[in-house]
A and B are shown apart, each in its own frame.
Chain A
Amino acid sequence: MSKRASVLLALSLVSLAACGGSGTGATPGAGPSPVNVNRLPDWFTNVPSDANTMYAAVTAESRDLQLAINKAVTDGRNNLAQQMEVKFEGMSKRFQEETGLGADAQLIDQFTQAYKGIVSQTINGSRAAKQEIVNTPAGGYRAYVLVELPIGQASQALMQRVRANEQMYTRFRASQAFDELQKEVERYEASQRPRP
C-alpha cells in the first residue's frame, strides 16, 4: 500500500514538474507571437486626437530590437504622410468647388503640386513621442510607437508655396479652404512663440 501511495505521489510530482514550465521564458522559434490585447498601451487603442497634431499608432515585430523600433517608426511616418495627403486633397477639392476653378486645370495642378511637395516627399518635425517595447514569446521584440506630427508646420510650408504663386494666392485667398489653412498656420505660429 505504502508503495502504491508513493508511486501515486511520485506521479503527481512528475506531472506537476512536467506541466509547470518557466512561465516567463521566451522560446526562440516557438511560432508566431500573438499580440496580447490586454497589455496594449492605452494610447495604442485610444489614439489621442488634437486639432494641431496628427498621430499614428503603429506596431512592428522583429527578432532585432532596433529593427522593430525603426520599422514601426517608419510605418508611422508613412501613415502620417498618407493622413496629410488625404487632408490636403480634401482642401484642394473644396478650393476647386468654392472658386469654380474646375476648368482651370493649370492652377489646380499647381496647387496639387504645392501640397504633394509637402506631403509625399518629406515629413518634418515628426517624433516617436511614446513607445513601449515588449518581449514576444517567440524570443523577439514587438515595438508599439506613437508617432506625432504637428500639422501647423506642414500648413505653414504649404501657405508659403501658395503665396509664392501670385495667381494662385489671389484666387485661393477668397476661399474658406484658405481661412482654414490660415487658422492652422496662426495656431502653429502662436504655439511656437516663447511663452512669458
Chain B
Amino acid sequence: MVAGWQGGARRISAGLLAFWGGAVVTLLLLAGCRPPARPVEAIAPAATPVRTYPSWFVAPGPALGATAVGYAQVGLKRAEAESAAVNDARVRLALARRVRLELDAAYESGLGVSLTSQGERFREAPLDPVPDSVRLLASEAVRGLLLVLVTGTRESVEAPGGGLVALDSLAPSWVRELPRAEGLVYALGVAPATFREAAGWMEAERHGRAQLAASVSTRVRTLAMGAGRDEATVTTVSSAVTLADVAVQGRWRDGQTCFVLMRGRVLEAR
C-alpha cells in the first residue's frame, strides 16, 4: 500500500516535471529566439584594450608646430627603423611649415542602391625645402610601431618628458566636434588601424590635410541623371590651397580606427 502510494507520487511528480519542462522549452523557443538586439554602436569602444603611447604623440602640447612626428614599423634592426622614421619626420616638418594642397575627388552614387564609389587625387607639396638635418628629441617603440619626435636644428625646443600615457577608452571631444580658434582651421583625419599601425597613422594625417584643404575652399559640381530609383549622381570637388603651421594637435585610436585632429593656417585659397 505504502509502496503503491510512493510509486503513484513518483509518477505524478515525474508528470509535473515533464509538463513544466516542456512548457519551459516551448517558452524558450517562442520568446527566447527573437533575433538579438543589434544596436548601431557609436565608435566608443568600452572593451578596447588599454593602449599606451608617448605623451608627445597623443597631445603634442607647447612644441606643436616646431616639431614633427615620424613613423616607421620596427623591423629586425631598430637603428634602421629609427633612420626611416627620422627621414619621414623630416618631410613632415617641411609639410608643417608651408604646404600647397590640391584635392580633386569625384563621387558616384545611385542607380537604385546606396552604392557609392570614389576617385581621388590628392597632392601635397612642401613650399620650403625638406631640412637636411634635424634634431632627434625622442624615440619610442610601442607594439611594433616606432615613433620619433624631431625638430629643426634652429629651434630651441627641449626634449619632452611625460613618458607613456594610456589612451582614454572614450573618444576625446574633438572626434565628435571640431574646436574653434581665431585664425586657424581644423579638420578630422581618419584611417583604418591596419596591422601595420604606422600606415594607419600616416593615412589619417594625409586624410586630415585633405579635409583641411576642402574646408578652406571647395569647388563643388554635381550632375544628376534620371529620377527615382534610376537616379544617379556624380559630384566632383576640387580644392587648391596653401597653408602654414599644419600640425597634428591630437591623436586617438580605438580598436579599428586612427583619428587625428589636424589644424592649419590659411595663406592662400583658390
Contact = CB atoms under 8 A, between A and B. Distances in A.
B118 interface: yes
Given A1-B17, A21-B36, A71-B116, A122 B176 contact: no
Contacts of B118: 64, 67, 70-71
A159 interface: no
Contacts, number: 146
Interface in A31-89: 32-33, 35-36, 39, 60-62, 64-67, 69-71, 73-75, 77-78, 81
B166 interface: no
Given A67-B116, A134-B40, A74 B237 contact: yes
B260 interface: no
Contacts of B18: 1, 4-5, 8
A167 interface: no
B41 interface: yes
Interface in A10-41: 11-12, 15-16, 18-24, 26, 32-33, 35-36, 39
Given A39-B39, A127-B178, A8 B21 contact: yes
Contacts of A1: 10, 14, 17-18
B17 A61 contact: no
Interface in B178-235: 178, 182, 185-188, 190-192, 207, 211, 214-222, 235
B15 to A, nearest CB: 9
Contact of A77 (B28, B43, B237): B237
A180 B33 CA distance: 62
B176, B192, B235: which has the most chain A beta carbons within 10 Å? B176
Contacts of B156: none
Interface in A96-128: 120-128
A135 interface: yes
A69 B237 contact: no
Contacts of A9: 21
Given A77-B220, A123-B220, A15 B25 contact: yes
A133 interface: yes
Interface residues of A, number: 58
Contacts of A23: 36-38
Interface in B222-269: 222, 235, 237, 257, 269
A132 interface: yes
A15 B33 contact: yes
A140 B105 CA distance: 21
Given A11-B25, A19-B32, A135 B220 contact: no
A163 interface: no
Contact of A15 (B29, B34, B207, B215): B29
Interface in B12-36: 14, 17-18, 21-22, 24-25, 28-29, 32-36
Given A9-B21, A23-B36, A135-B40, A123 B257 contact: no
B40 A36 contact: yes
Contact of B38 (A4, A8, A137): A137
Contact of B107 (A65, A74, A81, A127): A74
20 contacts: A5-B17, A12-B28, A15-B29, A16-B28, A21-B35, A35-B40, A39-B42, A65-B257, A70-B120, A71-B107, A75-B235, A122-B220, A123-B217, A127-B186, A127-B215, A128-B187, A128-B188, A132-B42, A133-B43, A194-B182
A-B interface, 3 closest residue pairs, ranked by CB to CB distance from nearest: A8-B21, A21-B36, A36-B40
